[in-house]
Amino acid sequence: MNENLQVPEQGSPEYDQFMRQHFGDNYEYGFRAQIGIRFVAFIIDAILILVISTLIAYLLGYYNDIISKGFSAFMDPQFSKELGKNMAPISLLISLIYIAIEVSMATSIGKMIMGLQIGSANREEAEISQLIIRASLKSGSMIFVIIPLIISNLSASSEMIINLLNSGYGFLYIISCLFAFGMKRQTLHDMIAKTAVYKKSNILINE
């Protein structure tokens, strides 16, 4: 870089514009959170959802058979099926609350603990429309949980198709997350929503 070139004050919009002009988009990618810290935030969220769901199920008495019979209760296919049906609305409700938090606050509890926030791909604060698109793409598999709750008398073949579609969507979600290993550090759903995950301090505040 030319030593006589005047560099604007670091952290200013002029500085970002200057850096993009001279270094291109690669300059921006360095501000995005790496896959490791994002994975830790994901694990924290998953553990919290599991713990809260299990506690609610316990308080509602869904685990009484396990308490009386031990884990051998899981050997009964009917018990496992009934437990799954009982747990589905609880897990769905907690997941919806998590989605509402992520859309309204541009972060989840796990991301918050790790100091992360969702922003636009240009490092500015994410628009609500971007967060809704991102959340919808991430959580689309919930439709396969909602359908059995609405339609109680599904045939065995219909249940099998729904389970296959749910598994397929889960596989696509994993593929989407693998994109975060790339240079852009964006999942596929981030790319579509034009968002990225950053350390909160790296997001440019809209004034």
Q: pTM of the predicted model, to two decimals?
A: 0.79
**Tokens, residue 121:** 């791909």
- The set of residues, in sequence order, having a beta carbon less than 8 Å from that of 165 and lying 6+ positions away, is 144
Locate tokens 């790496």: which residue?
Answer: 34
Beta bridge partners of 119: 125, 196
Which stretches in the chain have pLDDT values below 50? Answer: 1-3
Helical pair 143-150 and 156-178, crossing angle rounded to 10 deg = 160
- pLDDT at residue 10, rounded to an integer: 62
- pLDDT at residue 194, rounded to an integer: 96
**Tokens, residue 97:** 């609350």
**Tokens, residue 141:** 């598999």
**Angle at CA 66, nearest 5°, toward 64 and 68?**
70
- Pairwise CA distance, residues 20 & 18, whole Å: 6
- Pairwise CA distance, residues 207 & 77, whole Å: 57
Q: Yes or no: say if 102 and 183 are a contact pair by the CB < 8 Å rule.
A: no
Q: What is the pLDDT of residues 74-117, one digit of tens each?
A: 666 776 677 777 778 888 888 899 999 999 999 999 999 999 99
- pLDDT at residue 118, rounded to an integer: 97
Residue 132: count of CB within 10 angstroms of its CB: 13
